């Protein structure tokens, strides 16, 4: 294994008794072993759903809140897109998704593109992904019996994969282990009707092909179980592991198991989010049971904002985005400002809060700096390490500018406290369903000062013309690849 920031070192301990010598040597080696790394990514969870981010949340999330108590909670962390496929691409590769011209059907990640998994594998980590891939696997829609599914996780740095090809509401429905389906989707299932303003809430999923033993309501538990088993097995090995746990919830269908039904005060969505929190509790319990929790870094975040319209806010008195505006798909903060927690025993100060700007693209450079890996200019073009922020909560910001694209492909740029949106409305799911959108549409674009207007209520497009032009020109320059 190549050297890294906490590489295993040869340590000689002088002990007079042979048995004590062995015990001492093993103890010191365990303490100096490179830390395991787990990145937990949940699906469609909002900035205001967690108690540690929103004291008024109607959803108990004790396990995630505990991670925040044990680590640092970032309050200005963002996904470069407010829907899952591009958001996950940027997390895995460190590149802005809009620069990538590959089609989903061929696999979004190019064979030569570095990923956080290939980086970790190259420095000696065992690597695994559990859960939702959703970067495109050729033939995922119609797998052929006996033929390997290529250009999936194992072709991008992961040693092991157990999960599903796309979202829990997108057919075909089946599990993949490594490069082969566990069972082929030979049966069919009717779609489940949804609820809400756009009928994509509640138990919604699309009809299509399904594997005989596949059950939507059991998927979350099955993925978590595999993750727990992996931790237990790898804890006994000498080399550290990197695990990407991509839980496909609380994305639809909202199917909380019986023990969570009716337990929150935010309906099926809240109950299902409680179940997600419980699954994360199983992962952190597994680390403690394996006695490796003090030598494991745990990252936690969500891929984009929640599906939670104003009628749901009024019905449950719960804002899934807290004080932010918008939701999944939107250019407004609720679409892409994410909960982001890092528990790193001995490094990240427990219970701390960091208000510096970071992006999903920055995980690659952070992992590289952690392992003293030099990235090429092309590999790190959109990635800026926030390792200094983990080590020193008072360290100056490592990123000043950030680019975002909504589900309708409307761009916005953030620089310092200023945010410019190059278009009208939310650019995403909220358009057409929120009467307040009209009040923002008097101008061709939007400009907000987030320092005193985090809810993006006052459009300064005409009042701050110089700032507007500055950000517009910078946005055009940074997106000139299109």
Q: How far apart are CA 54 and CA 76, in angstroms?
A: 14
Q: How many angstroms separate the CA atoms of 368 and 4, rounded?
A: 9
Instruction: Provide the 8-state DSSP code for 322.
Output: T
Judgement on whether residues 97 and 231 belong to the same structural domain of the protein: yes
Domain boundary among 399, 432, 459: 399
51 and 3 in a common domain? no
Domain end marker among 399, 415, 447: 399
Beta strands, E only, 154-235:
160-164, 176-177, 180-181, 187-189, 208-210
Same domain, 207 and 309: yes
Please indicate, yes or no, if residue 152 is contained in any of the structural domains: yes
Could you tell me if 29 and 46 lie in one domain? no
Q: Looking at the structure, do residues 235 and 131 belong to the same domain, yes or no?
A: yes
- Specify whether 225 is located in the same domain as 154: yes
How do beta strands 337-343 and 296-302 pair? Answer: antiparallel
Strand pairing category for 352-354 and 411-415: unpaired
Q: Would you tell me how many other CB atoms lie within 10 Å of the CB of residue 459?
A: 20
Structural domain contains residue 212: yes
Q: Choose one of 381, 399, 417: the last residue of a domain.
A: 399
Domain co-membership, 7 together with 144: no
Beta-carbon contacts of 150 under 8 Å, excluding residues fewer than 6 positions away, are: 107, 137, 138, 139, 179
CB 479 within 8 A of CB 98: yes
**Same domain, yes or no: 190 and 336:** yes
User: Does one domain contain both 95 and 135?
Assistant: yes
* Helix axes of 267-289 and 62-70: crossing angle, nearest 10 degrees: 50
462 in a structural domain: no
Q: Is residue 444 part of a domain?
A: no
Q: What is the pTM of this model?
A: 0.93
Q: What is the pLDDT along the chain (482 residues), one digit of tens a residue?
A: 444 444 433 332 333 333 333 334 444 444 457 999 999 999 999 999 999 999 999 999 999 999 999 999 999 999 999 999 999 999 999 999 999 999 999 999 999 999 999 999 999 999 999 999 999 999 999 999 999 999 999 999 999 999 999 999 999 999 999 999 999 999 999 999 999 888 999 999 999 999 999 999 999 999 999 999 999 999 989 999 999 999 999 999 999 999 999 999 999 999 999 999 999 999 999 999 999 999 999 999 999 999 999 899 999 999 999 999 999 999 999 999 999 999 999 999 999 999 999 999 999 999 999 999 999 998 988 999 999 999 999 999 999 999 999 999 999 999 999 999 999 999 999 987 766 666 567 899 999 999 999 999 999 999 999 999 999 999 999 998 65
d(CA 422, CA 144): 44
Residue 40 lies in a domain: yes
For residues 22 and 166, membership in a common domain is answered with no
Flag whether 74 is in a domain: yes
Q: Which two tokens stand for residue 282?
A: 């199983």
* Domain range for 26: 1-33
Q: Are residues 357 and 223 in the same domain?
A: yes
- Counting the structural domains of the chain, the total is 2
What CATH number is attached to the domain comprising 182?
3.40.720.10
What residues have CB less than 8 Å from 445, skipping those under 6 apart?
A: 420, 421, 422, 423, 424, 461, 468, 472
d(C-alpha 325, C-alpha 439), whole Å: 14
Q: Read off the DSSP letter of residue 183.
A: S
Rg (CA), the chain: 22
Residue that is written with structure tokens 């695990």 in the block: 243
Decide if 429 is inside a domain: no
Q: Are strands 418-421 and 411-415 parallel, antiparallel or unpaired?
A: antiparallel
Asked whether residue 338 is assigned to any structural domain, the reply reads: yes
Sheet order of strands, 411-415 included: 401-405, 411-415, 418-421, 446-449
219-234 and 267-289 are packed helices; what angle lies between their axes, rounded to 10 degrees? 10
Task: Check whether residue 20 and residue 85 sit in a common domain.
Answer: no
């Amino acid at each position: 294994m190549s050297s890294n920031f906490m590489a295993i070192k040869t340590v000689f301990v002088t002990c007079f008794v042979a048995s004590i010598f062995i015990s001492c040597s093993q103890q010191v080696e365990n303490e100096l072993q490179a830390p395991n790394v787990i990145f937990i990514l949940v699906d469609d969870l909002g900035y205001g759903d967690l108690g540690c981010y929103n004291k008024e949340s109607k959803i108990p999330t004790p396990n995630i809140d505990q991670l925040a108590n044990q680590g640092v909670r970032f309050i200005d962390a963002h996904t470069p897109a407010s829907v899952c496929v591009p958001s996950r691409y940027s997390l895995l590769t460190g590149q802005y998704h809009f620069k990538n011209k590959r089609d989903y059907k061929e696999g979004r990640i190019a064979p030569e593109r570095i990923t956080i998994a290939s980086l970790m594998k190259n420095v000696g980590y065992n690597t695994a992904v559990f859960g939702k891939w959703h970067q495109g696997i050729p033939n995922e829609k119609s797998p052929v019996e006996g033929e390997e599914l290529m250009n999936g996780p194992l072709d991008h740095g992961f040693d092991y994969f157990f999960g599903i090809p796309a979202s829990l509401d997108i057919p075909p429905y089946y599990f993949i282990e490594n490069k082969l389906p566990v069972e082929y989707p030979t049966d069919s299932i009717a779609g489940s009707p949804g609820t809400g303003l756009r009928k994509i809430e509640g138990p919604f999923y699309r009809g299509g092909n399904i594997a005989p033993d596949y059950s939507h309501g059991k998927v979350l538990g099955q993925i978590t179980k595999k993750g727990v088993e992996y931790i237990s097995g790898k804890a006994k090995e000498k080399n550290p592991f990197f695990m990407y746990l991509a839980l496909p919830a609380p994305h639809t269908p909202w199917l909380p198991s019986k023990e969570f039904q009716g337990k929150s005060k935010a309906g099926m969505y809240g109950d299902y989010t409680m179940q997600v929190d419980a699954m994360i509790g199983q992962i952190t319990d597994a680390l403690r049971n394996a006695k490796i929790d003090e030598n494991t870094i745990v990252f936690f975040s969500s891929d984009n904002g929640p599906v939670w319209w104003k009628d749901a806010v009024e019905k449950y008195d719960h804002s899934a985005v807290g004080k932010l505006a918008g939701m999944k798909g939107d250019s407004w903060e609720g679409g892409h400002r994410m909960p982001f927690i890092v528990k790193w025993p001995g490094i990240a100060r427990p219970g701390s809060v960091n208000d510096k700007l970071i992006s999903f693209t920055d995980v690659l450079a952070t992992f590289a700096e952690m392992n003293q890996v030099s990235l090429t200019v092309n590999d790190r073009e959109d990635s800026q390490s926030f390792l200094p922020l983990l080590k020193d909560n008072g360290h100056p910001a490592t990123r000043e500018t950030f680019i975002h694209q909504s589900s309708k492909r409307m761009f916005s740029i953030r620089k310092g406290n200023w945010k410019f949106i190059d278009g009208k409305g939310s650019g995403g799911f909220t358009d057409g369903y929120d009467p307040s959108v009209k009040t923002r549409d008097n101008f061709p674009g939007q400009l907000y000062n987030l320092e005193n207007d985090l809810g993006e209520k006052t459009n300064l497009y005409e009042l701050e013309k110089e700032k507007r032009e500055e950000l517009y020109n910078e946005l055009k320059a940074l997106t000139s690849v299109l």
